[in-house]
Amino acid sequence: MAKDKLSELTEIMDSMRAREGGEAAAKRKADGRMTARERLSALFDGGAFTELDAFAETRATDFGMQGKKVRGDGVVTGYGKVGGRTVCASSQDFTVIGGSLGETHARKIAKVMDLAIKVGAPFVAINDSGGARVQEGVDSLSGYGEIFMRNTKASGVIPQISVIMGPCAGGAVYSPAITDFVFMVDGGSHMFITGPEVIRTVTGEAITPSDLGGAKVHGEVSGVAHFVSTDEADCVARVRELLSYLPGNNMSDPPGRADGAACGRVDGAADHAALDSVIPDDPGKPYDMKSIIKAVVDGGEFLESQEGFARNVIVGFARIGGMAVGMVANQPAVLSGCLDCDSADKASRFVRFCDAFGLPLVTFTDTPGYLPGVGQEHAGVIRHGAKLLYAFAEATVPKVNVITRKAIGGAYIAMNSKHLGADVVLAWPTVEIAVMGAEGAANIVFKKEIDASDDPAKARGEKVAEYRERFASPYIAAARGYVDAVIAPSGTREALVGALEALAPKREDRPPKRHGNIPL
């Protein structure tokens, strides 16, 4: 009898594997897509994971569903190790009823999410679904609501990552939107609330899924996608890379790494010496802030998030002296590093994620201010810009700021200034800190002298230089304690390693409250 039961189990498992290797799966593989289980195997160490609820089936019988019952109900759930640490995951199977979400399907996902919260493990949701299962009606909607509720409960407790490997439409998009990071594959991923067919019916406008909500759109225009990959294998590899920087939960320390020279105080001395000449002599000339970031982080390794969106601000993860950190920096090569609505949103959400999970924040500041213009004012730059002020002021993790060139006006305050609680603020000798740029300020402060001069252009140049020296020098801010140290650029890495080591035990109490009210 025992042997018969064992044989029965073997037959059932074999039939499930055979289904995954069927005609539908073969067609998708020809398009460069993995099966649901192959995606999980690529995610977990050695391809090994423990599957949960493999035998679950839908209870629906209406609209022909009786003949569509399949064990697993279109989603594979389970847990395994990623980088030696436990991770929980779900992976939708488009070959089973289009990967649509019904009652049982949703219950499986909710169950593994509950497990992730209970054990303090990151949760990865691989989405590949036609959306709500119409045949199950309100039970499908209930299922989405249960998942959204768990996304919200888990927010700030465990890292949540959504991987879009196919269609993700209608209500299905809101779970990824609540999670911390969204991965998409160029050409294979789509996210939208209203599909192209509905838009065509209502407006007469012909539009493709990629034009409406492809990876390029969400990676560069909407900002919904944080990482865009060329194929599924690269996408999963980048998920694993991201997880290597993150703690398992909000009570765990970020993962460290000790690999010799890469963690030393001085790493790549030639690169550090080059920092002494990276700032152009012309204060209006751009340079690439990423070259500075890569010169000071361990091994030059920097995992950038939302690389194609709001490129005037850079955010991402790196290690400095073996410590995982979140990096936020202005990008002078794009819009001169000005802050605007999108960049403020991008940076503030990243800051809040790092604060939730104990990742120290390292910022590089070079900004001439908030982007001026009617368009920005009407788009709500006041409200959006305030988010960044709120995010840095709210954060209690170690905060270190390096000002490389310009820190002007309200943007100086917003970019992790001493006034918002930065623990250590460092400045390069090239720094200009002021209420407004030297050119504009000189025109106001020295207007009479310039107008009375025989050569106004020459006088203006002299007054601009005088203003920079008298009012915008880093030594003025340092004299008042707003800057802790003025350092040579080549000493930046050593200063950062020292600051982060000193700040590692930091604890900061805030007044008790339910939560603050960030200006969303």
Catalytic residue (choose from 120, 137, 156, 170): 170
Specify whether 410 is catalytic.
Answer: yes
Cβ atoms of 262 and 298 closer than 8 Å: yes
Catalytic residue (choose from 98, 410, 440, 461): 410
Question: How far is Cα 170 from Cα 300, in angstroms, rounded to an integer?
Answer: 40
Catalytic residue (choose from 137, 171, 187, 498): 171
Question: How far is Cα 487 from Cα 431, in angstroms, rounded to an integer?
Answer: 11
Strand locations in 144-251 (E)? 160-164, 167-169, 181-185, 190-192, 227-229
Specify whether 411 is catalytic.
Answer: yes
Cβ atoms of 365 and 422 closer than 8 Å: no
DSSP calls for 263-288: GSSS--HHHHHHGGG-S-SSTT----
* Nearest in space to 427 (alpha carbons), one of 443, 398, 410, 405: 405
Instruction: Report helix, strand and coil shares of the chain as percent, to nearest 5.
Output: 50, 20, 35
Cβ atoms of 164 and 185 closer than 8 Å: yes
Residue 321 Ramachandran class (φ > 0 left, ψ -120 to 50 alpha, else beta): left
Specify whether 170 is catalytic.
Answer: yes
**CA 290 to each of CA 123, 302, 386: distance values in angstroms, whole numbers, following the listed order:** 30, 9, 25
Coil vs helix vs strand at 160: strand
Residues contacting residue 497 through CB under 8 Å, at least 6 positions apart: 265, 320, 321
Catalytic residue (choose from 56, 411, 427, 434): 411
Beta-carbon count within 10 A of 186 CB: 17
Cβ atoms of 109 and 77 closer than 8 Å: yes
Please list the active-site residues. 170-171, 410-411
